[in-house]
Chains A and B, each alone.
Chain A
Amino acid sequence: DAKTTQPTSMDCAEGRAANLPCNHSTISGNEYVYWYRQIHSQGPQYIIHGLKNNETNEMASLIITEDRKSSTLILPHATLRDTAVYYCIVRVFRNSGNTPLVFGKGTRLSVIA
Chain B
Amino acid sequence: DTGVSQNPRHKITKRGQNVTFRCDPISEHNRLYWYRQTLGQGPEFLTYFQNEAQLEKSRLLSDRFSAERPKGSFSTLEIQRTEQGDSAMYLCASSFYLSLAGGRTYNEQFFGPGTRLTVL
Contacts and interface: CB of A to CB of B under 8 A. Distances in A.
B33 interface: yes
B42 A43 contact: no
B111 A105 contact: no
Nearest to A108: B40
Interface residues of A, number: 20
A49 B108 CA distance: 10
A8 B112 CA distance: 25
Contacts of A100: 33, 35, 45, 48, 56, 58
Interface residues of B, number: 30
A106 B110 contact: no
A103 B106 CA distance: 20
A46 B42 contact: no
Contact of B44 (A87, A96, A98, A103): A103
B4 A43 contact: yes
B104 interface: yes
A17 interface: no
Contact of A46 (B41, B92, B109): B109
A102 B97 CA distance: 19
Contact of B31 (A43, A44, A85, A98): A98
Contacts of A49: 108
Given A43-B91, A43-B112, A98-B109, A103 B42 contact: yes
Contacts of A46: 108-110
Nearest to A95: B104
Contacts of A43: 4, 91-93, 111-114
Interface centre among B92, B97, B104 (most CB of A within 10 A): B104
Interface centre among A41, A96, A100, A101 (most CB of B within 10 A): A100
Nearest to B44: A103
Interface of B: 4, 31, 33, 35, 40-45, 48, 55-56, 58, 91-93, 95, 97, 99, 104, 106-114
Interface of A: 41-46, 49, 85, 87, 95-98, 100-106
Sorted nearest first, the 9 A-B pairs with minimum C-beta distance are A103-B42, A43-B111, A100-B45, A97-B97, A46-B108, A97-B106, A44-B111, A103-B43, A98-B95
